[in-house]
Amino acid sequence: MVARTVVALNRRRALLAAIALPAGCAIQPLASLQSTAIPAPTGPVALRAPLVGQAWTYRKLNFFNSSLLDVVQETVASAASAIDVNRQGQASGALEDEKHAAWGQLLRDPVWDYPMTFEAPVPLWPTPLTVGANTTVNTHYRMDGGSFRFWIQVYSVVRGWERVTVGAGTFDTVRVERLIRLDHQDHTRAHTLRRDTMWLSLEVGRWVARDTSGEYSSLGGSRMLRDDAREDHFRWELTNWR
């Protein structure tokens, strides 16, 4: 048991060392994900259904400087009345869980600056997964431990089919884009807009790559500052799955 603990600590220290950029190292933005357009499959399209024990491991990358921030494993812990996905980072430890009412219908989204729990399910992707399919949902969310309700609108659309290569291999994927508008809990923010692009693999049952980013305007005194600010921009790339 002690030996396993030492190995785990050494792995975490190695990852933290890899995350730190060397002094004087040139900062390079992350390259765009390389993809090739492919024809849509014929016949019905469905993602692999979630089952307890299924897991996906992702590299979490900083888009602005290409640095590796963490390696995150996401595991289906429950698939009964609701679907719970536990998340664990090698560098960050236990992360907030993700919860679905049905697969792809989010009740809790943990990937942004703070987890959001929705009053009504919010789609991660439209149904069916056919090119051009789209959906718009307006609802409210709460922060953990908070009583205030904040408005959110999520538009999702299927853009097309693409072949992409990540650490786990080459996959035929359906590209889904989401545009998210919300009232942020920070009252100095206005017009928060987020973009979420994911490449879903039918056999994997989840995304093999995902880009998340956002922007907003700041309020200063009695007037709005027109300078836009940016939220974090991350890329998630699949390295392993089962």
pLDDT tens for the chain, 242 residues long, are 444 444 444 555 545 444 444 444 568 999 989 999 999 999 889 999 999 999 999 999 999 999 999 999 999 999 988 999 999 999 999 999 999 999 999 999 999 999 999 999 999 999 999 999 999 999 999 999 888 999 999 999 999 999 999 999 999 999 999 999 999 999 888 889 999 999 999 999 999 999 999 999 987 655 555 567 899 999 999 999 99
Owning domain of residue 121: 2-25+50-241
pTM of the entire predicted model = 0.86
Find the CATH number of the domain harbouring 189. 2.40.360
In a domain, 35, yes or no: no
3-class SS of residue 128:
coil
In a domain, 31, yes or no: no
In a domain, 116, yes or no: yes
In a domain, 131, yes or no: yes
In a domain, 215, yes or no: yes
Distances in Å between the Cα of 52 and the Cα atoms of 80, 84, 125, 173, 180 are 9, 9, 21, 23, 29
In a domain, 37, yes or no: no
In a domain, 225, yes or no: yes
In a domain, 219, yes or no: yes
**How many domains does the chain contain in total?**
1
Count Cα neighbours of 82 within 13 Å in the Cβ-side half-sphere.
13
